[in-house]
Amino acid sequence: MELIKNLNWRYATKKFDSSKKVSANDIEKLKEAIQLSVSSYGLQLYKILIIENSEIREQLKPVSWNQSQITDASHLFVFCNYTNVSPTDIDTFIKQTAKTRNLDIERLNGYGDFIKEKLNEKTPEEKTSWLKSQTYLALGNLLNACAELKIDACPMEGFEPEAYNKILNLEAQGLNAAVIAPVGYRHNQDHTIGAKKVRKPFNLLFQET
């Protein structure tokens, strides 16, 4: 199983080789992998910023605990959740589904109403948590795709979301920076290269009935 082999290869890269860049072709492959991610109801209520611009990343580094990955990696992926979900978002999804699958939209309106009803049942706090959680599903696809392409990545929560929102003008777009992932190629001086993975054994991680 190549996936297991690739997952054993990858690790959260701490030091990137700033001289190496991910090709435009591979960036497109990573984008497609993210696009194909699962999400609740299939809504994909998030947007991913792919930042290559060095000046912007220099601005982001101080509010990312001054971690070198931000500026040394080839690209920085910023996963941003919607700050709110509106009936229009649901309607847009229903219309896209009808068009993509060549279905009568009247057949799907009931499903759209069901989604709206379930989301309306959530408290504001629950909705915020739910929206943020969706980005992690997409992040997983990015990490797996990077591993297959032998591109290094480092998922990171060590940053200040409010500062990111301000620097990247996200609030005006109805977005919030939820989680980030620099991608590129490991530096041969990264002290974590070759470190054995620390994972729970099966008997502690799984319970079968």
Please indicate, yes or no, if residue 90 is contained in any of the structural domains. Answer: yes
Task: Please identify which residue in the block is written with the tokens 């931000």.
Answer: 70
In a domain, 162, yes or no: yes
Report the alpha-carbon distance of residue 59 to residue 132 in Å, rounded: 24
Q: Report in angstroms the alpha-carbon separations of 41 from 115, 153, 159.
A: 8, 28, 29
In a domain, 202, yes or no: no
- Domain containing 72 equals 2-183
We report the CATH number of the domain holding residue 158 as 3.40.109.10
Q: How far is Cα 41 from Cα 114, in angstroms, rounded to an integer?
A: 10
Angstrom CA distances, 117 to 76, 83, 107, 111, 121, stand at: 36, 18, 17, 10, 6
| Interatomic CA distance for residues 76 and 61, integer angstroms | 11
CA atoms of 207 and 111, how far apart (whole Å): 34
- Is 208 inside a domain boundary? no
Provide the number of structural domains found in the chain.
1
pLDDT at 179 over 90: yes
Tell me whether residue 209 is in a domain.
no
Q: Per the domain annotation, does 151 fall within a domain?
A: yes
Looking at the DSSP bridge assignments, the partners of residue 182 are: 76
Within a domain: residue 170?
yes
16-71 per-position pLDDT tens digit: 999 999 999 999 999 999 999 999 999 999 999 999 999 999 999 999 999 999 99
Higher pLDDT, 152 or 194: 152
Q: Is residue 107 part of a domain?
A: yes
Hey, is 50 helix, strand or coil? Answer: strand
- For the stretch 106-159, pLDDT in tens is 999 999 999 999 999 999 999 999 999 999 999 999 999 999 999 999 999 999
Q: What does the pLDDT read at residue 1?
A: 85
